[in-house]
Amino acid sequence: MADRSGPVRTYRDLVVWQKAYDLSLAVYRATRGFPNDEIYGLRSQLRRAAVSIPSNIAEGYGRRTTAEYARSLNIAYGSRCELETQLSIAADLGYISQPVATKLEQQTAEVERMLTALRLALARRSSASLDPSIPRSLDPSARKKG
């Protein structure tokens, strides 16, 4: 998925969502060759953790309040931590080659940096929304649905 710049109209316009989505696709591709006895084990865990990251970013974006959005981003961050741990296990077991593991770790680190920045921006915006001089357009709860 190519990065698009410009105004954010939907969660798909968020670069962090785009990067997390690409990461989930890469994890699916990397886990295709896992042993059959890992179908319901590590392979499934990796895939669920990877899919959870962009899913929670999207869910949070669709929520009505900054607090709900922040909670969803925290869940996405936790899933990213889970994924990072599981990737290390998969690499140590030899299920993923070192070059693939390194690439996935780099993608995971990039998503982590972006999630952290978004979480901090939301925290600042949340405290700034108490200031009446801040326009309501910056408040996620003021965003029009539909």
Q: Is 70 domain-assigned? A: yes
Q: What pTM, to 2 d.p., does this model score?
A: 0.82
Please give the pLDDT value at position 49. Answer: 98
Give me the sign of the Cα torsion angle 5, 74, 59, 142. negative
Q: In a structure prediction context, what are the per-residue pLDDT tens digits for the chain, which is 146 residues long? A: 555 567 888 999 999 999 999 999 999 999 999 999 999 999 999 999 999 999 999 999 998 888 899 999 999 999 999 999 999 999 999 999 999 999 999 999 999 999 999 999 988 877 755 444 444 444 555 555 54
Q: Is 5 domain-assigned? A: no
Where residue 67 sits, what CATH number does that domain have? Answer: 1.20.1440.60
- Per the structure, the count of domains in the chain is 1
Q: Is 46 domain-assigned? A: yes
Instruction: Tell me how long the chain is.
Output: 146
CB 104 within 8 A of CB 96: yes
Structural domain that includes position 21 = 12-142
Q: Is 101 domain-assigned? A: yes
